[in-house]
Chains A and B, each alone.
Chain A
Amino acid sequence: NAGVTQTPKFQVLKTGQSMTLQCAQDMNHEYMSWYRQDPGMGLRLIHYSVGAGITDQGEVPNGYNVSRSTTEDFPLRLLSAAPSQTSVYFCASSPGGWTAPQETQYFGPGTRLLVL
């Protein structure tokens, strides 16, 4: 299993450009999430999904769109990049269910985004 994969690893954008951060998992996990990590801070939830076709907003959703057409993929779209979106973005997945092991999230390696 590759686990959770993210592409690209690093990206530089100009203000106003759009792009899609890719996330894929091969563990047949039900839940997937996107977080951003700013310097000196913990992770903050952007959007999450509890299954294909179902998404919802997290703590900091503005400026981002998501969709989940398959169980495996959960792309994050930046509509019009702003310098405030400079951050490290982590995708995570978890099995889902009602027991603690099912709640554990497994994280991808992250995407570093710089918006000039």
Chain B
Amino acid sequence: AQKVTQAQTEISVVEKEDVTLDCVYETRDTTYYLFWYKQPPSGELVFLIRRNSFDEQNEISGRYSWNFQKSTSSFNFTITASQVVDSAVYFCALSGRGAGKSTFGDGTTLTVKP
């Protein structure tokens, strides 16, 4: 069975601070995919980033970056220079190969104060 744990329930930062959201996962699959989604107060789910299990290269995309470490089963997500509009619930998700079904963590509520 797959499992995703987001230990941080709520995080509060002041605008322009950097913030890292933690995600730890469990899976027996050798090929899998990891995702981060954002759910703003309006309620929709917005896809942010994706990583393959066989590619541990960490990347930066604008203010977003992620740190994928297979050895510790972690897939952490960092927002640099946070903005008020980043306030949302962030979900980490894990998908095996095929079928388009994902296991989600319980989410981290990020509040960015001006």
Asked if B100 contacts A110 (CB within 8 A), the reply is no
B4's contact among A42, A50, A88, A110, by CB below 8 Å, is which?
A42
Q: Does B35 contact A (CB under 8 A)?
A: yes
In the complex, A81→B92 CA distance in Å? Answer: 30
In the complex, A80→B73 CA distance in Å? Answer: 41
Instruction: Provide the residues of chain A in CB contact with B44, threshold 8 Å.
Output: 107, 109-110
Q: Does B70 contact A (CB under 8 A)?
A: no
Asked if A92 contacts B100 (CB within 8 A), the reply is yes
Q: Does B64 contact A (CB under 8 A)?
A: no
Contact A48/B47 with A40-B106, A104-B35 known, Cβ cut-off 8 Å: no
Closest Cβ of chain B to A35, distance in Å, is 8
User: What string of 1s and 0s marks CB contacts (under 8 Å) between B29-63 and chain A?
Assistant: 00001010100000111010011100000000000
In the complex, which residue of chain B has the Cβ closest to the Cβ of A107? B45
Asked if A104 contacts B101 (CB within 8 A), the reply is no
Closest Cβ of chain B to A2, distance in Å, is 14
The interface centre, meaning the residue of A29, A98, A104 with most chain B CB atoms within 10 A of its CB, is A104
Contact A42/B91 with A94-B100, A107-B45 known, Cβ cut-off 8 Å: yes
In the complex, which residue of chain A has the Cβ closest to the Cβ of B4? A42
Contact A110/B102 with A42-B4, A98-B97 known, Cβ cut-off 8 Å: no
Q: Does B104 contact A (CB under 8 A)?
A: yes
In the complex, A98→B100 CA distance in Å? Answer: 11
In the complex, A56→B52 CA distance in Å? Answer: 25
In the complex, A98→B33 CA distance in Å? Answer: 11
User: What string of 1s and 0s marks CB contacts (under 8 Å) between B87-114 and chain A?
Assistant: 0000101010111111111110000000
Contact A48/B100 with A104-B47, A109-B44 known, Cβ cut-off 8 Å: yes
A100's contact among B52, B100, B103, B105, by CB below 8 Å, is which?
B52
The 7 closest A-B pairs by CB, nearest first: A31-B100, A42-B104, A94-B100, A107-B45, A43-B104, A100-B52, A103-B33
Residues of chain A whose beta carbon lies under 8 Å from any beta carbon of chain B: 29-33, 35, 40-45, 48, 50, 56, 58, 88, 90, 92-94, 96, 98, 100-101, 103-107, 109-110
